[in-house]
Chains A and B, each alone.
Chain A
Amino acid sequence: MFTRVEGLKRVLDLFDGVPVMVTVGACWVEWDALRPSDGNFALKTLGSGSSVGLGVALALPKRKVVILDGDGAVLMNMNGVATVGQMQPKNLIHIVFDNKVYEASGCIRTATSFNADLVAVAKGLGIKSAHRVATPEAFESQVRAAFASDGPHFIVAETKLSEGDSTFAYARLEETDNKHRFMRFLEKVEGRKLREDAIDVKTSLR
Chain B
Amino acid sequence: MDLPKEAPDYAKAFLEALKEAGVSIVAALPESLLGSVYRLLRQQNEIRYVQVTNEAELPGICVGAYLGGKKAVMIMENSGLRQGLEPIARFAYSHHLPVTMIMAFRGEWGERNWWGHNHAQTMEPILNALRIPYRFVREIAEIKPAIKRALLHADGSQWPVALAMTGNCVEVPAYAKD
Contacts and interface: CB of A to CB of B under 8 A. Distances in A.
A79 B68 contact: no
Residue in B52, B54, B57, B58 whose Cβ sees the most chain A Cβ within 10 Å: B57
A162 to B, nearest CB: 25
For A50, A178, A179, A194, the residue with the greatest tally of chain B CB atoms inside 10 Å of its CB is: A179
B71 to A, nearest CB: 9
A129 to B, nearest CB: 20
Interface residues of A, number: 38
Contacts of B54: 77, 79
A199 interface: yes
Given A175-B95, A186-B69, A52 B156 contact: no
Interface residues of B, number: 36
A53 B64 contact: yes
Contact of B69 (A50, A86, A195, A198): A195
B152 interface: yes
B56 A83 contact: no
**Chain B interface mostly:** helix
Interface in A2-52: 21, 41, 44-45, 47-48, 50-52
Contacts of B35: none
User: Taking chain A's interface residues, is the majority helix, strand, or loop, or is none over half, making it mixed?
Assistant: helix
A21 B48 CA distance: 22
Interface string B60-91: 11111111111010000000000000110011
A55 B68 contact: yes
B171 interface: no
Contact of B94 (A21, A79, A175, A190): A175
